[in-house]
Amino acid sequence: MQRKVLTIIGACTLFFSPYVHANAGWTDYGTVAELVPTARHYYELRLPVKENPSGCKNKTWFYQDYGTPGSDKMFNTILEGVKSGFRIRVYVTGKCNLHGYSEISSVSIIP
């Protein structure tokens, strides 16, 4: 009986976890469609790409926590992409938030 209860609790913990883990890797390059600084602890980015290896529900939305080392530099790189029209790609970590957005950890920009 106790084993059955623990199994159910474990399954519920996985199912209702605030983050779902998927795959990590680079997206393809795309032009930034929207950059959203928020009052929450992260900023959001809409980047229409064909390839997003994360497996998260929303394939074109990404996020980065303001407290992550280097997040300000990534934000500035993305902002430069918005201002210049340059294409960027992002490295997804494999974490998805509750909205199905992919967490990013790196940004690359090309003219």
- Domains of the chain, each with CATH number or no CATH: 19-110 (2.40.50.340)
Minimum mean pLDDT range among 15-19, 40-44, 81-85: 15-19
DSSP state of 73: H
The model's pTM = 0.79
pLDDT bucket at 22, cuts 50 / 70 / 90:
low
Question: Which residue in this structure is represented by tokens 């926590």?
Answer: 65
> Does 15 score more than 80 pLDDT?
no
> Does 64 score more than 80 pLDDT?
yes
> Does 24 score more than 60 pLDDT?
yes
Q: How far is CA 48 from CA 5, 6, 30, 36, 62, in A?
A: 43, 42, 6, 15, 10
